[in-house]
Amino acid sequence: MKSQHPFENVLSVSMEELAITLRCLGKAPWADFILNPRRLRGSDFLMRWSQGVWSEERLTQAVNATGRYFALPYGPSGTAPDNDVREFELYFERLEKAGLGNIKRPDLLLCRIQAKTDVYSAVEQCGGVSELPFIPEEDARIQRILEHALIAVECENSLWRAKQMPDYNTPLKPQRRLGGRLGLKKNAVLPTIIIKEEDRSPLRKWQERRNISIHIWHAFFDEAFGISLEKAENLIPQGDIQPTIQVFQAPGGATTEKIIYKIYYRYAYPLAATVEEPQLVADSITDKNGHILPYVPKFND
């Protein structure tokens, strides 16, 4: 199977999520409108990009607010421009041309606040945060950063209010399809932490090679949950969490089937809660021909 361009891979949206998010919308008259070389089809992908930027920045902000730790953007998604989707695309173009488009590094590194001066000194020597994915991890400057990392974080997000999901408080019960193991009905709607099958092996290898524990943090509109990769990897072979085949659509319109694992939030640790409701506001971008493409939501704090 031909691999997707990294820009399309990052902004691929689950068709299941699109069906829920866009159920009330009719056919968008600008759905086939050309915004850039990869034909950004409609507001759903702009919404996904805006949502991803918002959730990752809020998680970083929450870590930094502890006064004990700080989060450093590290992987290609985390270090990409966050204020313009076109600049975001061009960044992945540059990675692709450098042969680094499919590099797999965790989105964030968490370090103790005492190490901040040393870490950012090394980052500055690398040319800034945005240059980190272009520098091999064997480089002494990157090694200097990694030696301060307590954990690495892979960020995910969903446009849901976790507490309002129908099965939020439903207790786990023995399930026949799980061989009597505890779980919920197959179509239960509750907060889950998503791990893609295609990411499991690269993340495990990175964790083993760098000897840094990876955690997956999943942000919802009102809450966030986390789980260590090690614990997730134990749940899957035990049969507690079964694979789900899901169809993803890329900005260019191409669809691919991917195996994912939806880990119940009950297996995770509570990570954060929203203290103040973010506002969803309309926004728009204009293409080179002057065509305006509106989208919602954009997140304001």
Nearest alpha carbon to residue 94 among 118, 55, 127: 127
**Structure tokens belonging to residue 239:** 């049969």
What's the burial of 192, exposed, middle or buried (CB within 10 Å: 0-12/13-18/19+)?
buried
Helix (H, G, I), strand (E, B) or coil at 167: coil
* 253: amino acid identity, one letter: G
Question: How distant, in Å, are the alpha carbons of 72, 90, 95 from that of 35?
Answer: 31, 13, 20
Say whether pLDDT at 286 is over 80: no
Say whether pLDDT at 68 is over 70: yes
Say whether pLDDT at 135 is over 70: yes
Q: What is the pLDDT of residues 238-258, one digit of tens each?
A: 888 989 888 877 776 678 888
Say whether pLDDT at 291 is over 80: no
What's the burial of 128, exposed, middle or buried (CB within 10 Å: 0-12/13-18/19+)?
exposed
Phi, psi of 47 (to 5 degrees): -65, -40
Mean pLDDT of 263-282: 83
Helix (H, G, I), strand (E, B) or coil at 123: helix
Element (H, E) at 248: strand 243-249
Helix (H, G, I), strand (E, B) or coil at 247: strand
Task: Tell me the percentage of the chain whose pLDDT exceeds 70.
Answer: 79
**C-alpha torsion sign, points 251, 256, 257, 258:** negative
Distance CA 284, CA 301 (A): 18
pLDDT of amino acid 116? 97
| pTM reported for the whole predicted model | 0.83
Token look-up 């129908």 returns: 166
Say whether pLDDT at 64 is over 80: yes
* Orientation of helix 43-64 relative to helix 85-97, angle to 10°: 80
Q: What is the pLDDT of residues 85-126, one digit of tens each?
A: 778 888 888 888 888 877 789 999 999 999 999 999 999 999
Beta carbons of 91 and 81 less than 8 angstroms apart: yes
What is the average pLDDT value for the chain, to the nearest integer? 82
Say whether pLDDT at 212 is over 80: yes
pLDDT of amino acid 297? 53
Q: 289: how many CB neighbours lie within 10 A of its CB?
A: 8
Q: What is the pLDDT of residues 166-189, one digit of tens each?
A: 999 999 999 988 888 899 998 899
